[in-house]
Amino acid sequence: MPSPVGHSILALIVTGLYRPPDGRKRWWLALVIFAGCAADLDFLPGILMGDPNRFHHGPSHSITAALAFAIAVAVLGRRLPRRWVVLSFVIYLSHLLGDWLAADTGAPFGIPLLWPFSSAYFTSPVPIFSYFDHGGTGAGLASVIDQLFSLHNLLAIGLEIAVLGPVLWLVTRYRRRRSQR
Ligand SMILES: [Zn+2]
């Protein structure tokens, strides 16, 4: 998996940095980043059980979960513009794309994209991002926290910014030009 930084940049690539829909800026950035990282909430039950990786890269990393997330946004935010619901789906998918494109060092490799219709795990044959080290299954919370602040992870974040930063800049520039026409 990429780091939360990589997932947040991917989410911002989906939405662009400027012009939140309908000018509702207040919660926009927080919601975009939350949608971009929501699939990794599957760490929470493991954290409560003292084994943070136990449920990671499970059903929350599937297209079905992306649909469920968008439906939840639609139900909880009934007053939100429909565009937000569609964007929440695409942002969630951007998380799956990021994880698919990242190196994975622990079996099962990749993510169960088609759960519950298939139990197969999918990963890119050519990883673009490094893995963001968060220990393995069975590693306790202290060990996971230790891994999170490793030099490797700092370099992994640097690679994500180097790859995704220019894409975000180009997308933002394109959107700004198009809106000025
Ligand atoms: Zn993930």
The full set of domain ranges for the chain reads: 4-180
CA angle 149, 155, 158 (to 5 degrees): 115
Mean pLDDT (whole number) for 60-71: 97
| 57-84: burial string, b at 16+ Cβ within 10 Å, e else | bbebbbbebbeebbeebbeeeeebeeeb
Helices 4-15, 82-100: inter-axial angle, 10-degree rounding: 140
Three-class SS of residue 16?
coil
Enumerate the β-bridge partners of residue 102: 129
Percent over 70 (pLDDT), the chain: 94
What is the C-alpha to C-alpha distance for residues 175 and 57, in angstroms, rounded to an integer?
Answer: 33
163 alpha carbon to ligand 1 midpoint, in Å?
A: 18
Q: Which residues are found with C-beta within 5 Å of the ion, ligand 1?
A: 1, 39-40, 99
Determine the average pLDDT of the residues in 151-163.
95
Report pLDDT for 154: 95
Residue 125: CB atoms within 10 A of its CB come to 4
At residue 79 the predicted structure's pLDDT band, cuts being 50, 70 and 90, is confident
Distance 61 CA to ligand 1 centre (A): 6
Query: In this model, does residue 27 exceed pLDDT 80?
Result: no
pLDDT of residue 94: 97
| C-alpha of residue 179 to centroid of ligand 1, in Å | 32
In the chain, % of residues over pLDDT 90: 61
* Centre of ligand 1 from the C-alpha of residue 104, in Å: 11
1 CA → ligand 1 middle, Å: 5
Mark 151-178 as b/e (b = at least 16 C-beta within 10 Å). Answer: eebeebbeebeeebeeebeebbeeeeee
